[in-house]
Structure 1
Amino acid sequence: MNFVSVRIITGDVARLVDFYERATGVPASWSNEDFAEIRTASATLAIGSTRTVPLFAPGSARPADNHSVIIEFLVDDVDRTHKNLTDFVTDFVNEPTTMPWGNRALLFRDPDGNLINFFTPVTPDAIEKFAR
């Protein structure tokens, strides 16, 4: 089995795709107006419209209602990335902070309120863990 993607259901696909394209620097691949993907080397962030939910199971997902998941992206330099995000991210949860497990992390919210963590490994163990 391979973990492939995380999908966000939203009421405004274009707005959320624009946000993630700007935040990650990765252009989206659009299937149609209801579905787009931000593809990275290791995983994909899929963004789907509320109109796609009934295709799976009606009422099974609600947009802008996430209170338990953090979407994480490994970045080269979280401090530099933070500076680049200040032009359009309005909801920073914290400034770059070195965590006990060795990552320097920046937590913020996307326009739907989903938590996003951009992080850079900074301790030798964390660097080794994420070495490619």
Structure 2
Amino acid sequence: MKLTSLRIISKNIKQAVQFYEKAIGLTAQWYTEDFAELSTNTISIAIGSTRTMKMFGENLEESAGYQNTIIEFLVSNVDEEYERIKGLASQVVQEPTTMPWGNRSLLFRDPDGNLINFFTPVSVEAIQKFN
């Protein structure tokens, strides 16, 4: 099994795609007006409008998944990313902070309220883990 994609459902897909393009520095490929993807060499971030959820079944349009999920990105310098992202993010939840497990972490929200974590390994153990 291989994890290939993470899908975010958005009430305003154009705003969400623009946010992620700026936040992670990739250009989205639009497949329909309700579905776009930003791809890296390891995973794709798919963004779908709430209308796409109707294709999966009844009563799936509203989701509160953002309350217990964090989308994480490994970045080379979290403090530099903070300077870039603080004007873009709808809310900075936690400014860059070194966590007990050895990552320096920045937590913020996207336009739909999803939690995003940009992190940089800083302890010897964390650096080894991600090299």
Common topology (TM > 0.5): yes
Taking structure 1 as the reference length, the TM-score comes to 0.93
- Count of residues paired in the alignment: 131
Kindly indicate which of the two structures has a greater share of residues assigned to strand.
2
CA distance in 2, matches of 1:130, 1:57: 38
CA distance in 1, matches of 2:74, 2:57: 32
User: For the Cα contact (< 8 Å) 1:9–1:62, is it kept in 2?
Assistant: no
Other-structure match for 2:4: 4
CA distance in 1, matches of 2:47, 2:90: 20
User: Map of 1:31-110 to 2, 5 A cutoff?
Assistant: 31-62=31-62, 66-110=66-110
CA distance in 2, matches of 1:130, 1:26: 22
Matched position secondary structure for 2:66: coil
Taking structure 2 as the reference length, the TM-score comes to 0.93
Other-structure match for 2:116: 116
Q: Which runs of 4+ in 1 moved over 4 A?
A: none
Percent of pairs with identical residues: 52
User: For the Cα contact (< 8 Å) 2:51–2:61, is it kept in 1?
Assistant: no
Matched position secondary structure for 1:92: strand
Unpaired segments ≥5 residues, structure 2: none
CA distance in 2, matches of 1:26, 1:63: 26
User: For the Cα contact (< 8 Å) 2:54–2:61, is it kept in 1?
Assistant: no
